Amino acid sequence: MQLLLDAPELQQPTPPAPTDAPAAPDLRTYDLIVINSSAGKDSMAMLAYVADQITTHGYTGQVVVFHNDLGVTDSGEPIEWPGVEALAREHAQRYGFRIEILRRAKGGLWRQLLGERLRFMGERTRWCTADQKTGVGMKHVTRIVNEIRAHQGIADRPVRVLYCLGLRAEESTGRSKQPVLAEDTARSSRVRTITRWLPIHGWTIKQVWDQIKTAGLRPHAAYSWGMGRLSCSLCILASVDDLMLAGALRPRLLDDYLRAEYKLGHRFTFTLSIAQIRAALDVARMELDGEDTAEEVAFLHRITREIVAEQNDLRTGTYARTGLPKRWSDEQVEERTRARVDQLVTSARRAIDLAAAATSTDSTHLPMQ
Ligand code: SF4
């Protein structure tokens, strides 16, 4: 089963690595460097950059790569893109780093969604990251710190941990405000100090891809299929285009999320439901087959209008207090609904085309469905 793609363009002569990267802290002052890797592009660029810095600084302490496995749905579909774990291993092994695959002891994301949280995560309530990634990672830092204390006999001072994350300022306003290097006082203690480092915080996407090319690391095939991000195939933070394409490439996973949405009675995001993604993809597929789409378009229009109307209701509450204009008229609601349906169907057509191209390039690249 081939899940990864050798991207030929990535094996051509490569440009130099970014020259305006911020200076790294003195790595020799740390006992342990943890590099978090989702196997996505930012993780790859960060891994390559940190590996370079480790060589440059002559760091000889422990280095561990953490990769979080978020598990599978109840039908067995991986939450993340298939193949990411193997790819994270491949990247870590390229530098001879030890890698640990971490899983939440009480269950993966699906179990947490349907058995504990009972609501999808939101932009400001990202329990998925907090519980499935950060919380699990910190438990393992505790374990490794205890190993270091025992084996290296460090008793008179805290073990110094440099915790590296591939977050970039460009991704969101929230991320742009995060410090590049700061002690995580909440997670530090008498036995450990944790310094959080964002080595590629100021990088652009171009710099990220340049670094990956320079390092000769292999990206996941999903990028060549047209995805802008990796991680969870259906991520609440993803763009409509990415979600639509992920849905086209992974219809079984999409159906699992659709069932979850109905079961929980809670929409995937505030502005977008999985039901809309599925309906738009149905319309685009039927168009391609020359079928009559009137019924499906009407369904998509109805569920979209419900969401627009809900947003309109909020304008008389929270939004009104912030000084926004008052309620949209029925005509404005209809206008917005039509525009949204058009946007979704356009995105779905693109997704169907890209998914078909991915399949025709090599049928073994779409083994997950
Ligand atoms: S990729 Fe998205 S859905 Fe998955 S853990 Fe991260 S924020 Fe949550």
Query: How many other CB atoms are found less than 10 A from the CB of residue 233?
Result: 27
The alpha-carbon radius of gyration of the chain (Å, integer) is: 23
Per-residue model confidence as pLDDT tens digits over 106-155: 999 999 999 999 999 998 899 999 999 999 999 999 999 999 999 998 98
Q: Is the pTM of this model over 0.75?
A: yes
- Determine what percent of the chain is predicted with pLDDT higher than 70: 89
Q: Please tell me whether residue 192 adopts helix, strand or coil conformation.
A: strand
Do 203 and 18 contact (CB within 8 A), yes or no? Answer: yes
Q: How confident is the model at residue 15 (pLDDT cuts 50, 70, 90)?
A: very low
* Number of the ligand 1 atom closest to the C-alpha atom of 129: 5
Beta pairing partners, 164: 35, 197
CA nearest ligand 1 atom 2, residue: 235
- Determine what percent of the chain is predicted with pLDDT higher than 90: 82
Domain spans of the chain? Answer: 8-215, 239-365
Q: Which residues line ligand 1 (CB under 6 A)?
A: 121, 126, 128-129, 132, 231-232, 235-237
Q: What is the second-level CATH architecture of the domain 8-215?
A: 3-Layer(aba) Sandwich (3.40)
The answer to which of 28-42, 55-69, 228-242, 312-326 has the lowest mean pLDDT is: 312-326
pLDDT of residue 232 exceeding 90, the answer is yes
Do 196 and 182 contact (CB within 8 A), yes or no? Answer: yes
pLDDT at 325: 64
Do 11 and 26 contact (CB within 8 A), yes or no? Answer: no
53 Cα–ligand 1 center, Å: 28
91 Cα–ligand 1 center, Å: 21
Q: Which of 310, 356, 352 is nearest to 333 (CA)?
A: 310
Q: Which of 246, 165, 240, 169 is nearest to 205 (CA)?
A: 169
From 165, 235, 243, mutation site for ligand 1 pocket: most ligand atoms within 8 A of C-beta: 235
pLDDT at 362: 53
289 Cα–ligand 1 center, Å: 34
Beta pairing partners, 102: 68
Cα 86 from Cα 81, distance rounded (Å): 11
* Number of the ligand 1 atom closest to the C-alpha atom of 79: 4
Cα 42 from Cα 230, distance rounded (Å): 10
